[in-house]
Structure 1
Amino acid sequence: MSRKHNATGRSTGDGHFIQMHEWFFKSHAWQAASVYEQALYLAIKRRYNGRNNGDIPMSHREAEQLLNCSNRPIAKAFAGLEEKGFIKPVTKGSFDWKVAKQGKNHGRSTRWELTELPPDLPQRVLGGGTKEFMSWKPKEKSAVCPEHTSGTLSAYHEKSMVCSEHTMKAGVYAHGTR
């Protein structure tokens, strides 16, 4: 297959590449991200053109079509990416938007900013992005409290989920008494 070239000899290929650094992949947040979160992040990053960070459109419906899945994992993926600090919503989408102030049709999808990159809108920043995902830590899981259990500790649970048969009879729960 031959490639077309312009007058300067540059390829006139069909798109651009996405750069992903090794430090990004080694971050705790990326390693803890689900497959849907990772795929969604790449789909959002594909829409970044070098000048639109802070105005990258992606709706839940578009994400469902791109990732070929239902709305439940997409909603969780968006929430997970926001919670881990990969993306920030700049303008929330709405079905109530009809016409922009200038009279032009305006997309209804949420506009996203990738925290990995410096924001471009409303004014381009030359520094780096906030990289909020680099300071993300997984939620700490604690052992079941020994004073509220009968038996050995065999699993780790979040404190809000701790409830054994012994503690249920006593009416004691991890978040208080019932």
Structure 2
Amino acid sequence: MVKGYKQKKKGAGRHVQLPEWVQATPAWQSLKPGPRALYVELKRRYNGRNNGEIFLSHRDAAKALNVNRNTVGGYFSELQNKGFIRLTRGHCLGPAGIGQAASYALTEETLNGCSCSKEFMSWNPD
């Protein structure tokens, strides 16, 4: 007996959803490719329940985007300035002297049961 085509499939797997209404905003259209790629990496780490607790260090972001570690800081700043992400906890040294990465919240998603702030919707080029 031959097993069916969908026998071992349990779903389509994880994916990153980037809605059209986000891409149509002036803030998104003004982003360079680097910050756009970083935003996709941050969304990859969002699982539907961890908004505000999305951890991504500059080293890990640089490795994921295949760029220098010093380049990524500007990408984070640009996403914050245009309202796509919000810093919820800054980076620091932990109790053992080991660095702890900052945590971020996506403004397009709900945070702690509150509605989305979508700060990027009100961004205007200066």
For the criterion TM > 0.5, the same-fold answer is yes
Partner of 2:95: 98
Is 1:134 paired with 2:121?
yes
Q: Any conservation in 2 of the 1:4–1:12 contact (CA below 8 Å)?
A: no
Structure 1: tracts of 5 or more residues without a match: 6-10, 100-105, 140-178
Question: Given residue 76 of structure 1, which amino acid in structure 2 is its aligned partner?
Answer: G
Give the residue type in structure 2 aligned to 1:86.
Answer: F
TM-score (normalised: structure 2): 0.87
Separation in 2, partners of 1:51, 1:12: 20
**Partners of 2:108 and 2:121 in 1: how far apart?**
9
**CA shift in 2, pair 1:23/1:2, >3 Å:** same
Bigger Rg over Cα:
1
* Letter in structure 1 aligned against 2:71: P
Query: What is the CA–CA distance in structure 2 between the aligned matches of 1:114 and 1:3, rounded to whole Å?
Result: 36
Instruction: Give aligned pairs, total.
Output: 121
Q: Secondary structure of 2:64's partner?
A: helix
| Alignment equivalent of 2:105, drawn from 110, 113, 121 | 113
Contact 1:118 1:128 in 2 (8 A): yes
Q: Offset at 1:34?
A: 1.0
CA distances 1:79-124 after superposition (whole Å, capped 9, x unpaired) = 0000000001101112x2136xxxxxx98111100000001xxxx3
Q: Identical aligned pairs, as a percentage?
A: 37
Quote the offset at 1:24 in angstroms: 0.4
Q: Evaluate the alpha carbon distance shift between residue 27 and residue 2 of structure 1 in structure 2; reply closer, same or farther with a 3 A threshold.
A: same
